[in-house]
Amino acid sequence: METNWDLSKLQKYIDDEIEESLTLDYKAAGALQKSDGKKKEITKDVSAMANSAGGLLLYGISEYQQPDKEHLPEKFSPIDQTEYSKEWLEQVIMNIRPRIDGIIIHPVSVEENQVIYVVEIPQSTLAHQASDYRYYKRFNFLSVPMEDHEIRDVNNRATVPEVAVSFYSQPYFSDSDGLWLKPIAKVINKGHQVVNHFKLIFYFPNLNEIPPEEPGPSKQNTSIGKVKQMAPNPQRIKLLKQPKSYEVTCRSNGVLFPQDTDEVDSNIRYCIMVNEFSLIDMNLSIKWILYADNMPLKKGNVSLLKVHRNQRGKDE
């Protein structure tokens, strides 16, 4: 998160019309009041952010009231620092149980005794109760009650890995048949635990069978979506008979620390022929299965067209 907050950075949120999200919430000055109801709302909003993905609460920026601009910041709505000090806000937040470690409150001065409070909230590895003894999460711009299984999932963050998978493409060459590219699989440790072992399996449903051979400009015309191996490797890539599909198996190369990324199949030699217009019509995809330490099995799929268009690895 940001470390140096000033009025110009906050003004940019308004000028750029940055919409509220899972990790961003605007609050007008009226959100800070000394009634029990308002203090409960503060603990509700802060705990919901920590129970979800963490983020920012900006106390002192109001939203538009028009339906077509809902959840967009309109203007500064400064808070009287003499009545609602940083210490007062900290005391209210401390009513959350258990206490949330790592919250930082930045007072940003608008004019004398008028401030905006930027509250940075980290994602927590424990579920936190608001002062009404309920658990909340962020959902569709709101703080809403959590289900029992969601509370257990949050409490498991400290012990169960959170590993994600994404794909991008690496162009190989073009010939008269089309463009040959290689999808690169990225395994990302988004959690708090070190991942010692993982196994990723992904496959390409409904691709036609191609014998292992070196692709090149001299090859005969080939159908869109076919796979070529540049070197046979039956331990890492194989043809499935039912359904007709190529399957790639990748295993961890070493320990994956929090926030680390491993491009697991970068050394497997294969490529796929693509044509953007044909990919739209054929709706080809990559389906994947991930096993990682004691994390529950994960499955997913991604459009091959999306992978083809993401040739810099930025689309997580």
User: What pLDDT score was predicted for residue 223?
Assistant: 45
Rounded average pLDDT over 85-98: 97
- Residue 132: the pLDDT is 95
Closest CA relative to residue 182, chosen from 291, 288, 298, 286 = 286
CA 290/CA 265 separation, integer angstroms: 14
What's the confidence (pLDDT) of residue 169?
84
Residue 31's SS3 state is helix
Q: Are 187 and 251 in contact (CB under 8 A)?
A: no
pLDDT at 289 over 90: yes
Dist. CA 18–CA 28, nearest whole Å: 16
| Lowest-confidence segment of 27-31, 121-125, 312-316 by average pLDDT | 312-316
Average pLDDT, the chain: 83
Higher pLDDT: 40 or 182? It is 40
Instruction: Inform me whether the pLDDT recorded for 6 exceeds 90.
Output: yes
Residue 145 banded pLDDT, cuts 50, 70, 90: very high
Burial group, residue 281, by CB count within 10 angstroms (0-12, 13-18, 19+): exposed
Question: How does pLDDT run across 217-248, given as a tens digit for each residue?
Answer: 434 334 445 555 544 454 455 555 555 567 78
Residue limits of CATH 3.30.950.30 in the chain = 7-155
**pLDDT of 57:** 97
Which phi and psi (to 5°) does residue 285 adopt?
A: -145, 170
CATH architecture, domain defined by 7-155: 2-Layer Sandwich (3.30)
Global pTM reads 0.62
Phi, psi (deg, nearest 5) at residue 211: -65, 150
pLDDT band per the 50, 70, 90 thresholds, residue 146: very high
CA dist 16 → 50, 71, 73, 86 (Å): 26, 13, 9, 27
Between 218 and 79, the higher pLDDT residue = 79
* Higher pLDDT pick, 306 / 59: 59
| CATH of the domain spanning 163-309, picked from 2.60.40.3620, 2.40.240.10, 2.60.120.1440, 2.60.40.10 | 2.60.40.10
Q: How far is it, in rounded angstroms, from Cα 72 to Cα 76?
A: 12
Is pLDDT above 60 for 212? no
For residue 166, is pLDDT > 50? yes
Residue 216: what pLDDT?
Answer: 43
pLDDT of 173 strictly over 70: no
Q: Which of 8-22, 118-132, 252-266 has the lowest mean pLDDT?
A: 252-266
Q: Is 72 exposed, middle or buried (0-12, 13-18, 19+ CB in 10 A)?
A: middle
CATH 2.60.40.10 segments of the chain: 163-309
Flag the least confident range among 40-49, 85-94, 200-209, 258-267. 200-209
- Of 4-18, 146-160, 269-283, the one with minimum mean pLDDT is 269-283
pLDDT at 305: 81
CB 100 within 8 A of CB 47: yes
Phi-psi bin for 53: left (phi > 0), alpha (psi -120 to 50), beta? alpha
- The pLDDT of 129-142, averaged and rounded, is 94
